[in-house]
Structure 1
């Protein structure tokens, strides 16, 4: 649709308002005198006829200009206002009116872009809310299993069923195991919620990813020793600093390492690597487990997904570990991926942009 600027429309309207009365005046004068010479008048001629014609022409000009303004300016603005109210009520598919005035057309186009952005944002928010509700419901369901078991064994201790030191030791060990499961589920839920609703910018500081990796390894060594696993490190020489939240990064690495420990058979080996590739700090955790199935490779990062090797809730957690780890890495501007290692087992690798400044 061809458009004109409002300045051009205004000038044209003024031209009509000035021209039409003049034309009517000249036409009336010609009708009365038979000539276009305005200085020549017939005997007894009065100015009442030309002036009346000029007034009629002025009225006609105002009617024409007013109608044009109504169609091209006021109606599109009124329709746009009504459409805005409909959109505010959730009618995202409401069509905005067209206009031949360029400025109004530009406002319409900008408004259309804004509506599309709001629609996409609203859709994303709805999906996040649905995902949040699903995760909370699923984790709440998973909390029941260790809670019921914990209460059952505590009742057994209270009622004297564990009437020997061996039974009492067994009951206490189970209670401790269930409390650890509860702690993991609650921590997963807290971290998942935190990274979903954390502020747009993370509280970043300069942290050494190698230090975070080593700290996480040290914290999980007792768990690895229970299965007699060895954790080998291969850290490149030099700086491996990144900008980020040290607590969240440690949580992400802990989830990856915990996943490797749970899926590596007894007496197996886990390899942890860290180095630099251009302007990125890279890391990888390789285990000696069965690796990922084809479905796992497609769905491993979905919230609450449990692969065939981790269906058991006693070892598989809530199915949020890899989801949380990837979200944390992505919040730091990096990426996390999974693959099956050529030598066997699974490989969880990722990268985060290196930090060269002092802060």
Structure 2
């Protein structure tokens, strides 16, 4: 049987616990009755038997009758001293029906509204017997206890409902609301327990998913926008090639637009690869200095074509845990961006240094920089400063975004600031801790 409500499951669990507790307490009570209470009453019965026997043997039948009368008055029952056959020593009546079957020597019985006690002397010559009515107990005599138990169950159930079940339902409702498309939903909780941890974990997950989904939606929108212009020009160039006498000029225009689309698709594939976070799947120790040297060597030809020079300052000896290819792409995109916007015959400065447990890579150009209000969007996909786009043509606008995602895949950070003149981009990558021999 599967219960679909946590309320019902909790209530049934409490009732089961109550039932098991009742059985356990009953077993404990029976054990205490056998080991403690019954032996005490047996010793008390033995004392009464010895007292009655003493009265009978030393003072006769009348003294025994008086003693038994005092017992009857005190305990509200009938008390007897019997011989070994069960004959009443006061009246001579046969009361053997009060005695247990051999070999029992002690009996304490409750039956049909009466209690019966029988206790034999150690030498077997006498029996002490007592009979009396049981007090009548009514159901309403136990009502306060019933209400106490019911009230306790209700309070515990209310605490469980308020403290556990309702918060879990709120978490489930928030998750369902998030699943239906409300990406802004969050769980407000300050609980330090597992439910609070669940809520905070959901908030972290929701924050990441919202950022990822919004980023992907923006990316798709930007891709459609970026492809619209070259595709429109390409379509116009094809029509022009069919009607123009100078087909080579039209083909050159088609080639430029095809190359632009190919470059854009290549960058989109690259940013998708970075999003896959391969650094976490096939991590290796990567020497940062060697990666930067290789990137500088690859970009030197491009810099020399613009009559620029790359100046490298190295003060770093360490390794990062991650992907060599991702780190190379991060540094290369930043460096190529610096080369693209550097003026002719200028110097691009690349420095490497260690700051505590991090590698710091700084790339600085001497270009126009960027407006202060654009720094928050500088690493967004397809974002390009308008002046740079108009003057230099710009790239696809994915270079710095790819660099940012590659750095984040290594649990690092990337930032930019104006250097007056130029732009300074700072990359922070955690290093592998050094092991002292």
Give me the TM-score of the superposition, normalised by structure 1.
Answer: 0.69
- Counterpart contact for 1:260–1:287, Cα < 8 Å: yes
Counterpart of 2:295 (choices 216, 229, 236) is 216
Aligned residues of 2:278 and 2:323 also touching (Cα < 8 A):
no
Residue 74 (structure 2) pairs with residue 40 (structure 1): yes
CA deviation profile, 1:155-178 (whole Å, cap 9, x unmatched) = 544555425xxxx2x555544443
**Quick one: which of 247, 264, 271 aligns to 1:185?**
264
Is residue 114 of structure 1 aligned with residue 114 of structure 2?
Answer: no
Once the two structures are superposed, residues 68-98 of structure 1 have per-residue CA deviations (whole angstroms, 9 ceiling, x without a partner) of 11231367349844653453233678999xx
In 2 relative to 1, CA 156–125 (structure 1 residues): closer, same or farther, beyond 3 Å? same
Match of 1:350 in 2: 427
In structure 1, the residue matched to 2:345 is: 267
Q: Distance in 2 between matches of 1:38 and 1:119?
A: 78
CA-CA distance at 1:245 after TM superposition: 0.9
Which residue is equivalent to 2:7?
none
8 Å contact kept, 1:229–1:269:
no
Deviation at 1:326, TM superposition (A): 2.1
Normalization by structure 2: what TM-score? 0.59
- 2:137 is paired with a residue whose SS is helix
Q: Is the 8 A contact 2:352 2:362 kept in 1?
A: yes
- Larger strand proportion of the pair: 2
* Residue 43 (structure 1) shift: 6.5
Please tell me whether Structure 1 or Structure 2 has the larger radius of gyration of its CA atoms.
Answer: 2
Residue aligned with 1:187, SS: helix
Name 1:71's counterpart in structure 2: 155
Mapped contact 1:83–1:95 kept (Cα < 8 A): no
Q: Is residue 229–residue 270 contact of structure 1 (8 Å, CA) maintained in 2?
A: no
Shift of 1:256: 0.7
TM-superposed deviation, 1:280: 2.9
Q: Check the 8 A contact 1:263/1:309 in 2, yes or no.
A: no
Structure 1 pair 327/234, CA: closer, same or farther in 2 (3 Å)? Answer: same
Change (3 A) 1:65 1:38: farther
Q: Say whether the 8 Å CA contact 1:139–1:318 is kept in structure 2.
A: no
Give the SS at the match of 1:316: coil
Q: 1:318 to 1:349 in 2, by over 3 A?
A: same
Match of 1:201 in 2: 280
Alpha-carbon distance in 2 for matches of 1:38, 1:266: 125
- More displaced 10-residue stretch of structure 1: 129-138 or 41-50: 41-50
Aligned to 2:89: none
